[in-house]
Amino acid sequence: MNVMDILQSQLSDDMVGQLSEYIGAEPQQTAQAANGVFATLLGGLANNASSENGLSALGAALDRDHDGSILDDLGGILGGMLSGGATDNRATNGMGIIGHILGDRQEVAAEQIGQSSGLSASQVMKLLPVLAPIVMSVLGKARNSGGLDLGSLANILLGGAQQAQQQQGMGDLLGNVLGSVLGGGGQQQQQQSSQAGDLLGSVLGGLFGKR
């Protein structure tokens, strides 16, 4: 079990249906775009965590705002978000999360995810802030319940992004988001990424169950 498996397992068929209605798309397209969003956000987080300041800021954000509790009622919270409610809560403030992770690369990422899924960039831009809190909550639950320090978190993000790249076949997409973090990495870096992904799978598999 890797982080992409965990993220995908959070979205039930009913939730995908709600998201599809929200953005005006077919469920299959929505699910594919959601995978692209998850992969891109993992890549952006790995990029940010490659610097000491970025990693510290991520750790602080997880400790302060993302304990994973929204996953306990994700269906209800998702419904509230789609109706425009509760965005003042840091844990569900998707626009704020997206701004921190992707910065000015949001539209570029949306365009590329749209191309891979058959959606428009504007449809993907509506998905990004809805799905971002799920990513942060999964990581927050892993950090809190799994006792992960910042070094482990950084390695896990890099490994998770590498796994997403391999699983989804989104090398070009993640390359643009990650830049030099994954692009051009040597065999040793890829092995470290794979080992980090295995660590994440072990931690999350115990927390979320092998669904």
Write the pLDDT tens digit of every residue in 63-75.
999 998 999 999 9
Span 1-6, average pLDDT: 73
Q: Which residue has the higher pLDDT, 162 or 82?
A: 82
pLDDT at 31: 93
Q: Is residue 211 included in any domain, yes or no? A: no
Phi, psi of 67 (to 5 degrees): -95, 0
Q: Is residue 163 included in any domain, yes or no? A: yes
Q: Return the top range by mean pLDDT from 5-9, 147-151, 196-200.
A: 5-9
pLDDT at 174: 56
Q: How high does pLDDT run on average in the chain?
A: 78
Q: Is residue 54 included in any domain, yes or no? A: yes
Q: Which residue has the higher pLDDT, 7 or 177?
A: 7
**Confidence class for position 104, pLDDT limits 50, 70, 90:** confident
Q: Tell me the percentage of the chain whose pLDDT exceeds 90.
A: 32
Question: Which ranges of the chain would DSSP assign to H, the alpha helix?
Answer: 3-9, 13-23, 27-48, 52-65, 74-82, 94-102, 106-117, 121-146, 150-168, 171-178, 187-208
**Confidence class for position 8, pLDDT limits 50, 70, 90:** confident
Rounded to whole angstroms, how far apart are CA atoms 113 and 141? 27
Which domain range does residue 54 map to? Answer: 3-205
Q: Is residue 177 included in any domain, yes or no? A: yes
Q: Is residue 210 included in any domain, yes or no? A: no
* 180: pLDDT strictly greater than 50: no
Number of folded domains in the chain?
A: 1
Query: Residue 97 is encoded by which pair of tokens?
Result: 């999360």
pLDDT at 137: 93
* 189: pLDDT strictly greater than 50: no
Q: Which residue has the higher pLDDT, 61 or 209?
A: 61
Q: Is residue 66 included in any domain, yes or no? A: yes
